[in-house]
Amino acid sequence: MVAWFSVPRAGYRVVRGAPARYASSDRANRTFCGTCGTTLTFEDKSHPQEIDITTASLDDPEAMPPQDHTRAADRLSWVKLADGLPEYPELRTR
């Protein structure tokens, strides 16, 4: 499992370096650190106004606690969520 959060693309800035880019499918691009391999972002072409960022890649991951669980239908059977946050089987409603 990877924790992500979404932001408007217009507000996203890389402040140092340039991430490496990978077309992971026809509909999406991913970026990662070309030095250490850390996953940074997911860019879905069907949602061009937003970008998903990995929480663990932040300098302060505690600053972005989760608000909900999306795509919960895809989680592994042994993952048990007990934090009381809303769960969405697929994408959350916008």
CATH number for the domain spanning 57: value is 2.170.150.70
Residue with tokens 């042994």: 78
**Of 20, 37, 38, residue with least CA distance to 29:** 20
21 and 51 inside one domain: yes
**CA–CA dist 29, 69 (Å, integer):** 22
Given a cut of 70, the residues of the chain with pLDDT beneath it are 1, 93-94
Q: What is the pLDDT of residue 94?
A: 56
Residue 59 sits in the same domain as residue 78: no
Cα(56)–Cα(78) distance, rounded to whole angstroms? 22
Number of domains in the chain: 2
User: Is residue 16 located within the same domain as residue 47?
Assistant: yes
Owning domain of residue 13? 4-63
